[in-house]
Structure 1
Amino acid sequence: MTEKEYTKIPTKELEHDPEPNPVLPKYGYGVRHLQAFLAFLTLAFAYLARAHLGVTIVAMTNEIENNTLYNHTEPTIQAVLNNTEVNLESSEWNIYRTYRWPKSTQEIALSSFFMGYFIMTFLSGIICQKWGGKIPLQIAMLVNGVVSILSPWAIAWGDWKALAACRVIQGLSQGGMLPGIHTLLANWVPLSERGSLSSYVYTGSGFGTVIGFQFSGLLAYSRFGWPSTFWAVGLLCLFGFTLFSIFGSATPGDHKTISEEEKNYIIGRSGEGTQTQPSVPWKTILTSKHVLANFVSHIGNVLCFTFYFMQVPTYMFAILKVNIRNSGLLSSLPYIFFMMMSMLSGNISDALINKKVMTTKSVRRLANTIASTIPAISLCLVSYTENVNLALMCFVIALGAQAVMHSGWIRPAREALMDERVNYIDLSPNYSGVLMAVGNGLANLAVLVLPVMVSNIVTDVTNQVQWRITLFIMAGITLLTNIVFVIFISTDVQPWNEVKHEAEDATQKS
């Protein structure tokens, strides 16, 4: 069987086939599982590089608790005039020193990543559409690794502006991460396995955040100081780059050692319709109310998710009085529950849909409402307590509920819980990578507004009333975006998904 013969298997027949070919699911573990594991690792390392600064910056700007290799002493003017030797290891040039950055400056540093991320997301969708997902993942790992390792020296030289520049570069390189993962799984995972494998792969985001929060707190409080968090992140990203370069592949057809049996199994049941990439119908996509509703929901949920790992460590330190070491540990606990719920919710959704308890559209509406309403209530409640245990329980419940949405990033309609990113595949299997890139880009553009809002409202990080206003605003955003999505959701493949292919078929027949 040739590659062209694989591409002729129609998407719609697969979607309406209640019972897939019973012979195909018998194929066991293979190269596709290795690719899924590599995707999990790269996503974890990417989120590790993205999230660790939320804890690290607390240590960078906290002189009292930052226990470093050297004591920080400023060289005095008198010492310079007297030509007294100044030890650079204990001077302002010391990479281990702390900084007196106001909250507004810290927010600029934290949000700089998303500025670069937004710039590259649209272009990355086109890159993935044409060349697959491997190259964007390699670029992300390599650039993040090198920049992370060099960051402490850059910051010592250029202060917060250098940190912001480093984060912009890292954001630029990570712009292709999620579209790349999305494209890889679409190419590598058969329809019958996409529910489980995609759940495990996308728990990498939660896993990376957990590790980032935990070891950032521990390393920043150790004798090696906060720079060690940048070095550890850099080494792990370079490790991910090496692994993916050696063992990763964009498609089954590009892999050198995959068996013909597994290749046929993957391509024959991919459900993506074609491997020939058509031109993108931009006007139709950007005027579709179903697509726009997905974008709105995507924005709301990325804002909420980003708020957690950017602001919760500071909230725990300033309001709940948790020290830096424990702040990282406690801030990571909600993400542990997030990972557990991601995998559990996938199984629940499969049962609800496969046993016909609920329709696909109903399951999606229900799950999106759960993933929006419960976090909104939890955010409101946490703003009224200074009890660490109660606040932590609220954060755990909030992220656990939101995992119902994040669990199904790439699963098809009949296998997934409601998630606007899953719905991209429902609407258009052929353009799902592009839809993901555009939605992700718009969401991360909105993220740039988040630090501006927080820094203008929270002028005193120890003022709980100011934090309460911010938390209520975030709750309102997630509720409103859910309403828009629930009203305009569709799980039907859109007509523009197949327009190009129908034209090609007509040409071939003539």
Structure 2
Amino acid sequence: MSPRKYTVEDETKKEGCFLGVRHLQIVLISCMAGICFGKNVNFSVAIVAMTNTNANSDIPTYNWTDTNLLISSYYWVTFPFQIAAGIASEKYGSKWLLAIAAFISSTFTAALPLMAQFGSWGVMICRIVQGATQAMVFPSAFNLVAKWAPVPERTRLCSIMFTGSSVGTIISMSLSGFICASTMGWPLVFYVSGAVGYTWLIFWLMFGSNCPQDHPWISDKEKEYILSTQGTNVPVKVIIIVTLLIIALRRLDVTEGVFGPAAALIILAAFGKEATATMIILLLVIAVGVNSAITSGFMMNNTDIAPNYAATVNALTNGGSIIFSIVGPIAVHLVVTDTTNIYQWGLIFYITAAFYLVAGVFYLVFGSAEVQAWNSGGTKKELPAP
């Protein structure tokens, strides 16, 4: 039985759908995103304690000189695994893909202190496996959002999903520093991260689902509401209005998310030595905080232009960010030969701002929210006049 026709009145008539199973799915995905980001950034904190030979004598420390390689090794194989995860999640569903990724990632996270005893190469193996498995998360998550989020709620629910990554980063970095300074030392950072990952896995196996049609507890009303907004029987007028509104919102968010940080970094570089500590902190907080607007900007375009292939499109677009994640530290190493030289850091800020500006202008010119013809495997057809 095909879902009933979606109308504009459904926007204001959502009885029984205000809080449902779809929100639980998004919360679970958001938690997974936070855990993944947390597992990545906590290593950057723990590695300081791991290589501090003057720290607690009861905790093993190592005299490694390849710490930059250990940090960047997380990204070495993420791109091919993202592509594979995108294709696999679209073909087989995301539930078990996320479960496998969570299990393997958590296992190698908890095993990192043990592997460290075999040298930096042991840690590098753990980091590479972490990167490979956690690369599966966001393509799978976008596939789930495309299936679970009603079109009118898609931006809001996806923003909630991305909020988890920011919250996870903040919590993980704060707790990691506290744990490293405790009597248990840096190994506890990885034990806790692994335990949190296993805990999430239990909840995901209990409550997660590939799509509304497969969930055993979802109400018929909520299922009908979700499917009705994703069908092909949406009135043409609604399609036109929603598409125009979506691209306007996407461009507004991108404008805020890229031009804001660019302005903050340019100001910071221009002031140089005259910038006070308070000013530096404020500008960096603005740069990072305002940048979060892109989560509801271009990052949501995956589900706008190709809801059926949102996972693969996300994997492809993430490829660029992975490249910069690898090249960025190398560029800083080449440019900043003296870490106390404020002008060398200023050049880094100018270069970063330039990338922001170029990317923002490119998106404003070419960005679109219209579903592409290849999303359904057919030829693009002109919409009839409303």
Asked whether the 8 Å contact 1:187–1:252 carries over to 2, the reply is yes
Residues 24-80 of structure 1, C-alpha deviations (whole Å, 9 max, x = no match): 45434222222122112111111111221222223333344x3x352xxxxxxxxxx
Query: Which residue matches 1:150?
Result: 111
Query: Which residue matches 1:55?
Result: 45
Change (3 A) 1:21 1:231: closer
Asked whether the 8 Å contact 1:46–1:140 carries over to 2, the reply is no
Is 1:165 aligned to residue 125 of structure 2? yes
Query: Which residue matches 1:484?
Result: 362
How far is 1:381 from its partner?
4.0
Is 1:395 aligned to residue 355 of structure 2? no
Residues 255-275 of structure 1, C-alpha deviations (whole Å, 9 max, x = no match): 222233332232223x2659x
How far is 1:227 from its partner?
1.8
Which of 272, 281, 294 matches 1:405? 294
How far is 1:382 from its partner?
4.0
Is 1:203 aligned to residue 163 of structure 2? yes
Q: Separation in 2 of the partners of 1:224 and 1:465?
A: 40
Asked whether the 8 Å contact 2:32–2:200 carries over to 1, the reply is yes
Change (3 A) 1:200 1:360: closer
Change (3 A) 1:451 1:136: farther
Asked whether the 8 Å contact 2:49–2:61 carries over to 1, the reply is no
SS at match of 2:118: helix
Residues 316-367 of structure 1, C-alpha deviations (whole Å, 9 max, x = no match): xxxxxxxxxxxxxxxxxxxxxxxxxxxxxxxxxxxxx99xxx9544443333
SS at match of 1:493: coil
How far is 1:211 from its partner?
0.8
Asked whether the 8 Å contact 2:90–2:311 carries over to 1, the reply is yes
Q: Separation in 1 of the partners of 2:177 and 2:319?
A: 30
Query: Which residue matches 2:95?
Result: 134
How far is 1:106 from its partner?
2.5
1:325-344 aligned at under 5 Å gives the runs: none
Which is further off, 192-201 or 482-491?
Answer: 192-201
Asked whether the 8 Å contact 1:69–1:225 carries over to 2, the reply is no
Q: Separation in 2 of the partners of 1:428 and 1:455?
A: 38
Query: Which residue matches 2:311?
Result: 433
AA aligned opposite 1:483? V
Which of 181, 190, 194 matches 1:221? 181
Q: Separation in 2 of the partners of 1:61 and 1:382?
A: 32
Is 1:247 aligned to residue 228 of structure 2? no
Is 1:365 aligned to residue 243 of structure 2? no
Q: Separation in 2 of the partners of 1:114 and 1:392?
A: 28
Q: Separation in 2 of the partners of 1:388 and 1:464?
A: 13
Query: Which residue matches 1:179?
Result: 139
1:431-510 aligned at under 5 Å gives the runs: 431-500=309-378
Of the two, which has the highest radius of gyration? Answer: 1
SS at match of 1:99: coil
Residues 104-157 of structure 1, C-alpha deviations (whole Å, 9 max, x = no match): x32221111111222201111101111222123212221221111111121221
Q: Separation in 1 of the partners of 2:252 and 2:283?
A: 21
Asked whether the 8 Å contact 1:45–1:236 carries over to 2, the reply is yes
Which is further off, 182-191 or 439-448?
Answer: 439-448
Asked whether the 8 Å contact 2:90–2:308 carries over to 1, the reply is no
Q: Separation in 1 of the partners of 2:71 and 2:267?
A: 25
Q: Separation in 2 of the partners of 1:36 and 1:168?
A: 27
AA aligned opposite 1:374? G
Query: Which residue matches 2:73?
Result: 112
Aligned-residue RMSD, C-alpha: 2.8
Gaps of 5+ in 1: 71-94, 275-352, 409-418, 504-510
Which of 261, 264, 270 matches 1:375? 261
AA aligned opposite 1:110? I
Asked whether the 8 Å contact 2:42–2:172 carries over to 1, the reply is yes
Asked whether the 8 Å contact 1:96–1:225 carries over to 2, the reply is no
Change (3 A) 1:34 1:501: farther
Q: Separation in 2 of the partners of 1:367 and 1:439?
A: 18
How far is 1:502 from its partner?
9.3
Q: Separation in 1 of the partners of 2:264 and 2:62?
A: 34
Query: Which residue matches 2:236?
Result: none
Q: Separation in 1 of the partners of 2:26 and 2:312?
A: 21
Q: Separation in 1 of the partners of 2:39 and 2:312?
A: 24
Q: Separation in 1 of the partners of 2:205 and 2:106?
A: 14
Asked whether the 8 Å contact 1:69–1:224 carries over to 2, the reply is no
Asked whether the 8 Å contact 1:25–1:192 carries over to 2, the reply is no
- TM-score, structure 2 as length reference: 0.86
Asked whether the 8 Å contact 1:51–1:213 carries over to 2, the reply is yes
Is 1:125 aligned to residue 89 of structure 2? no
SS at match of 2:34: helix
Change (3 A) 1:219 1:111: same
SS at match of 2:308: coil
Change (3 A) 1:456 1:255: same
Q: Separation in 2 of the partners of 1:18 and 1:374?
A: 34
| Equivalences, count | 371
SS at match of 2:216: coil
How far is 1:457 from its partner?
2.5
Q: Separation in 2 of the partners of 1:108 and 1:397?
A: 29
Is 1:189 aligned to residue 149 of structure 2? yes
1:37-48 aligned at under 5 Å gives the runs: 37-48=27-38
Asked whether the 8 Å contact 1:47–1:208 carries over to 2, the reply is yes
AA aligned opposite 2:217? T
Change (3 A) 1:25 1:500: farther
